[in-house]
Amino acid sequence: MSSTHEHWTPLGTGALTTENADSGLGHIVPISTYRNILLVLLFLTILTVGVSRIDLGAWNTVVAIVVATIKALLVACFFMHLKFEKKLIILYAVYPLVILFLLIGSTVKDESARENPSDGTKPIETSPATMPHLEH
């Protein structure tokens, strides 16, 4: 009985006393904040499309990922209330990103270190000439 309570209390500490004086539940964000975030998100969407029209070489990829990450942070922090959450939830929101970073980073590093990429496998079609062509 008491052990059950002790098991659950860490989830409730912090947020219950300090951040949520009104209800003891989730944080309430002013509606105007949501509207401002939406406007910034729409602006960043137009920006990322605009930048992709300009040829910056490899920097196109960098800019696209950076802008997408800013948008993702805005959605997570404000729409998903992550900015106002307890440390435990922030931890569990961040840890899959660390694993994802290791997964993508180590796989790309491993592949780039191999001299013959399609060694031992069926040859992969890399020429765009054989692709169907279509007009927009």
Q: Does 24 bind another protein (CB under 8 A)?
A: yes
Torsion of Cα atoms, 21 then 26 then 29 then 31, to 10°: -120
The answer to whether the CB of 126 falls within 8 A of the CB of 119 is: no
| Angle at CA of residue 75, ends 82 and 29, nearest 5° | 60
Q: Which of 23, 32, 116, 121 binds another protein (CB under 8 A)?
A: 23
The answer to whether the CB of 72 falls within 8 A of the CB of 66 is: no
Distance of CA 27 to the CA centre of its chain: 22
Size of the site for another protein (CB under 8 A): 64
Q: Which amino acid is at 91?
A: L
CB of 1 to another protein, least distance (A): 6
Residue 89's nearest CA partner among 100, 76, 102, 73 is 76
Q: Does 37 bind another protein (CB under 8 A)?
A: yes
Q: Does 84 bind another protein (CB under 8 A)?
A: no
Residues that bind another protein (CB under 8 A): 1, 3-4, 8, 11-12, 15-16, 23-26, 28-29, 31, 34-35, 37-38, 41-42, 45, 48-49, 52, 60-61, 64-65, 67-68, 71-72, 75-76, 78-80, 86, 88-89, 92-93, 95-97, 99-100, 103-104, 107-108, 111-112, 117, 124-128, 131-132, 134, 136
